């Protein structure tokens, strides 16, 4: 019989470095990644089934209605969701299942009573966050401003998380998270 795993939720505002931190954590053998679903357009270099499962809004909503997702939310006008079966499979294997999800999704998971450890990433300061968002080159100036407004609201939720970790230095951030979840 394999031991039970644990869900590790990493949340934080857009541009804080969640994807970068999660990629580094996945180099540790005890972590498993779940390919989540989204209706947002693919960014350059993204592949379906590797980065996300890209769905139409109709496909996403039909799956949501059937209970396919463990959690799902609309973020910046696009649907995002975590496939329930993928999570359950990795938990049965005893893995630390790493979920990069927003505060709405984290709230849904807290309500389900799952084995969960929640981590909220914060930037060193708002100017660093603005610079990171702008340097991605994927958003207009108006979109960056909108994401900063959302970031302020999301930052107010950090007290609901088990741990808050500042993402200033990637190596230190990863070391801290590994220490917290072991």
On whether residue 47 sits in a domain, the answer given is: yes
Confidence label for 51 from pLDDT (cuts 50, 70 and 90): confident
pTM here?
0.84
On whether residue 1 sits in a domain, the answer given is: no
> Within a 13 Å sphere around the CA of 93, how many CA atoms are in the beta-carbon half?
14
CA distances from 66 to 43, 54, 102, 173 (A): 28, 18, 22, 37
CATH number at residue 165: 3.40.50.300
On whether residue 101 sits in a domain, the answer given is: yes
pLDDT at 14 over 80: yes
Average pLDDT over residues 59-74: 95
| Helices 18-25/170-181 angle, 10° precision | 60
Predicted confidence (pLDDT) per residue in 158-174, tens digit: 999 999 999 999 999 99
Confidence label for 3 from pLDDT (cuts 50, 70 and 90): low
For CA atoms 39, 43, 47, 52, the dihedral sign is negative
Alpha-carbon gap, residue 167 to 176, rounded angstroms? 10
Q: Which of 34-48, 70-84, 89-103, 127-141 has the lowest mean pLDDT?
A: 127-141
User: How many structural domains is the chain composed of?
Assistant: 1
On whether residue 155 sits in a domain, the answer given is: yes
**What pLDDT is stored for residue 175 in this prediction?**
96
Alpha helices in 1-51 (DSSP H): 18-25
Give the structural domain span for 54: 6-181
């Amino acid at each position: 019989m394999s031991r039970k795993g644990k869900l590790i939720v990493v949340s934080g505002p857009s541009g804080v470095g969640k994807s970068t931190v999660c990629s580094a954590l996945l180099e540790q053998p005890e972590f498993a990644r779940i390919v989540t679903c989204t209706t947002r357009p693919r960014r350059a270099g993204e592949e379906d089934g590797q980065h996300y499962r890209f769905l139409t809004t109709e496909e996403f909503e039909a799956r949501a209605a059937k209970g396919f997702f463990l959690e799902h939310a609309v973020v910046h006008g696009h649907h995002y969701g975590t496939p329930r079966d993928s999570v359950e499979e990795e938990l049965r294997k005893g893995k630390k299942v790493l979920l990069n999800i927003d505060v709405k999704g984290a709230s849904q998971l807290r309500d389900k009573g799952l084995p969960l450890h929640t981590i909220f990433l914060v930037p060193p300061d708002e100017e660093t966050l603005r610079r990171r968002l702008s340097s991605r080159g994927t958003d207009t100036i108006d979109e960056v401003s909108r994401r900063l407004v959302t970031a302020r609201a999301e930052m107010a939720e950090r007290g609901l998380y088990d741990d808050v970790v500042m993402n200033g230095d990637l190596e230190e951030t990863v070391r801290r998270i590994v220490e917290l979840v072991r």
